[in-house]
A and B are shown apart, each in its own frame.
Chain A
Amino acid sequence: GQNIDQPTEMTATEGAIVQINCTYQTSGFNGLFWYQQHAGEAPTFLSYNVLDGLEEKGRFSSFLSRSKGYSYLLLKELQMKDSASYLCAVSDSNYQLIWGAGTKLIIKP
């Protein structure tokens, strides 16, 4: 079967750095997405990786290793507004998205 694993919850301090991991086992691979979802709001697109390596977008970076079935989202200079759930999704061989259950990130002052 197809499976995406993420930690359920993480806690970090304002101003610090946090890394949210995502491991996957899917039927084929056509890219990996990260989305952010604030409580009671719609998920919003953060990043897309299809090749190995690091993609940087301001305070957020996303890394992919296809051989290891592994990705992480790195958040730097954490702000209180970064408190949200972070969803990892993999596009399989049919370009269907397989979603992880999400990681709830709690930022403390």
Chain B
Amino acid sequence: KAGVTQTPRYLIKTRGQQVTLSCSPISGHRSVSWYQQTPGQGLQFLFEYFSETQRNKGNFPGRFSGRQFSNSRSEMNVSTLELGDSALYLCASSLAGGFGSNSPLHFGNGTRLTVT
């Protein structure tokens, strides 16, 4: 069974640009969550999608947005990039996820975004 796939693995952008990251979950998983990981900060929750609907959202500005397609693939977009957006962005899928469930998360290897 293929794992969670994230593309691209590495990305370098300049301030003010926008970026789109892609995530393909494990087959059969309907929940996709996105996290930002920076050294010393741990994983910061961005949002979670289930069946194309955003079910939970973290405390990030509106520049961070996402969507999920009918095949459960998800994209995350960051507009007007800032230097502080440099981080590892991780996508995780689970069977159910979200409210009422404690399905373990299966993570992709992440996209490392560098903003210069």
A interface residue numbers (CB < 8 A to B): 4, 8, 30-31, 33, 35, 40-45, 48, 50, 87, 89, 91, 94-97, 99-102
B99 touches A94 (CB 8 A): yes
**Cβ distance B10 to chain A, nearest Cβ, rounded Å:** 11
Which of the segments B14-22, B39-47, B64-72, B73-81 contacts the partner chain?
Answer: B39-47
Q: How large is the interface on B (under 10, 10 to 19, 20 to 34, 35 or more residues)?
A: 20 to 34
Please give me the residue from chain A that is nearest to B100 by CB atom.
Answer: A95
Whether A91 touches B106, Cβ cut-off 8 Å, given contacts A42-B4, A99-B43, is no
Cβ-Cβ contact count across A and B, 8 Å cutoff: 53
Whether A42 touches B90, Cβ cut-off 8 Å, given contacts A30-B102, A33-B104, A94-B99, is yes
Contact of B42 among A40, A95, A96, A101 (CB under 8 A): A101
- A45–B4 Cα distance when bound, in Å, is 14
